[in-house]
Amino acid sequence: MKKLIILVSAVTLLNSCIVSTAAKVVKGTTKVAYKAVKGTVKGIGWTVAKAKGKIDEDRIDGTWKVVGAYKGSFADFEKDGNPDSSFSSECGGFDQMVFSAKRSKFKPVHCSTEEEDWVKYDFEFGKNPATKERENYLEYNSGNYISVIDVSSKTMVLEGNLMPKLAFSGTKLYLLEKVK
């Protein structure tokens, strides 16, 4: 009889632990899904969520093509009910950004066919002076900042004044696709 009571107690305890753990997983998944904004640009499926912690600088190395631009900030993008329809690419010329992480230099994006000069940058993780948020960012030309929202092996999302031609219309968020 004692063994039966102990067995029933153990099963009840384990059952409550499993249900409690499952509830926490569902609750955690809901929070993650709420923070990530999904979209598709020119057939590129992507999820934009701000990176938690420092991004390895080597991940930004290479050539990146601008495939989308959003009129507004990342905060606006998170609140947008239909961010897919807000993307556009109006650049007719050279719409690539080249990073050399070893030399801490990049060639900025521009909308002309002329070659751009290398610009030295500092890759930082901390309080961005432009946004006042703790994030990954690039500082260049002493006082200009580009926030690195997230980087994967295929896509990168940057926020800032990447393309002056589009910045006048309020465009601040850019989706880039890795070229090589």
Out of 1.10.10, 2.40.128, 1.10.287, 3.40.50, the CATH code matching 38-178 is 2.40.128
Give 43's Cβ-side CA count (13 Å radius).
0
Question: Who has greater pLDDT, 111 or 140?
Answer: 140
Read off the pLDDT band of 111 (50, 70, 90): low
Tell me if the pTM is above 0.95. Answer: no
In whole angstroms, give the CA distance from residue 21 to residue 165: 51
Considering 34-38, 83-87, 109-113, the range whose residues carry the highest mean pLDDT is 109-113
- How confident is the model at residue 27, as a pLDDT? 46
Read off the pLDDT band of 142 (50, 70, 90): confident
* Residue 142: C-alpha distances to residues 53, 136, 139, 145 (Å): 24, 17, 7, 9
Q: Which amino acid is at 93?
A: G
In whole angstroms, give the CA distance from residue 46 to residue 63: 18
pLDDT, one tens digit per residue, over 112-123 is 667 778 999 999
CA end-to-end span of the chain: 70
Query: What is the domain partition of the chain in residue ranges?
Result: 1-35, 38-178
